[in-house]
Amino acid sequence: MTFATDIVCPRCRNKFSLAKVHSLCPCGSPLFVRYDAKKIRRAVKKSDLKNRPSDLWRYREFLPLRAEKNRVSLGEGFTPLIEAKRLAAELGIRKLWIKDEAQNPTGSFKDRGLSVAVSLAKELGIKKVAIPSAGNAGGSLSAYAARAGMESHVFMPRDTPKANQIEAARYGARLTLVEGLINDCGKIIAERKAAEGWFDLSTLKEPYRLEGKKTMGLEIAEQLGWKLPDVIIYPTGGGTGLIGMWKGFGELEEIGWIGARRPRMVSVQADGCAPIVRAYNGGKERAEPWVDARTIASGLRVPQAVADFLMLGVIRASKGTALSVSDAEMVAEIDRVGRLEGLFFCPEGAAGVAALSRLTGRGWIKPTETVLIFNTASGLKYIDALFA
């Protein structure tokens, strides 16, 4: 059973049925799944989680799947929260946590959203799925679609890291390499999906990947004893995780598991593709498309995000900030984290370390504050980009 009640548009408040396949709201906004907080509160206690499997489905009351038989899982989620004592000392802060998403089944945080999205696609009777991907999402979808027995179609920019291309192909996806960026891949899917019968799993163009990504926020709360950190630094491309964590925190407060206090949410982008940073600094509600996007962090090479207004809303509501860092800074931080903590960060995760270094230097983050950063994927997937 599910405790989900309906699907709602966060912008115009239109409501939609859980029993039907949905894309964006007619107003253009992504859609959110909504839950019955009173029923969740009666059905589950914090202490119940101790006896559950160590994966994201431990939070099943917060997820929209109705029938257990439709769950498509490879053991994703409940990744370790690692205290980075040596890095914290070097940066001059009291407590620093790394959420290591590289330990998901296909090596990235994309597994969270795509486990839930493919499970819901199965439940809704969908047979074919398609996704535009800058790298890790393509491999992840291919794995979960294979697990579900679905036909998968992945569209990647031609210069996507080779590891991602090989991974998608080996999982049996129909892989198409495109001259252009992820937005160009998305346009191809939009043009062909009706004729091909594809369910479009583009970032936030359906309501289920968000539900999987929000489990990062649920895990952070549980792993830190239901006390959230002062600051969360998040590498932001499409922004599903940023928005999802914020949604998850709200749901935890609604059932009484945490209070109203929230972390300051920091969005980090690359100097070569920073539409959210530019919009935040300019006081804008929407982000203009970024022209000629370039960065070694393929997950940050998203020139235009459909949920830009939601990301900007989260940053401002949390009293957070947005900043961009250079590719050179990312590479330097990959080396530093490897040397100090024994973790091989991806460039996107390293962007978070560079942002942390800059924000502590400015005094925006105080030495006494608790900070959480992400390693969103294994650095092994970026070997050709890092050593080209």
Angle between helices 240-254 and 308-317 (to 10 degrees): 50
- The pTM of the full predicted model, rounded to 2 decimals, is 0.96
pLDDT digit of tens for each residue in the chain (388 aa)? 899 999 999 999 999 999 999 999 999 999 999 999 999 999 999 999 999 999 999 999 999 999 999 999 999 999 999 999 999 999 999 999 999 999 999 999 999 999 999 999 999 999 999 999 988 999 999 999 999 999 999 999 999 999 999 999 999 999 999 999 999 999 999 999 999 999 999 999 999 999 999 999 999 999 999 999 999 999 999 999 999 999 999 999 999 999 999 999 999 999 999 999 999 999 999 999 999 999 999 999 999 999 999 999 999 999 999 999 999 999 999 999 999 999 999 999 999 999 999 999 999 999 999 999 999 999 999 998 787 6
> Cα 248 to chain center, whole Å?
13
Q: What is the fold, at CATH topology level, of the domain defined by 81-108+209-386?
A: Rossmann fold (3.40.50)
Domain boundaries of the chain, sorted by first residue: 81-108+209-386
**Which has the closest alpha carbon to 140: 209, 69, 62, 64?**
209
Asked if 274 contacts 299 with a C-beta cutoff of 8 angstroms, the reply is no
Alpha helices in 288-374 (DSSP H): 308-317, 327-341, 347-362
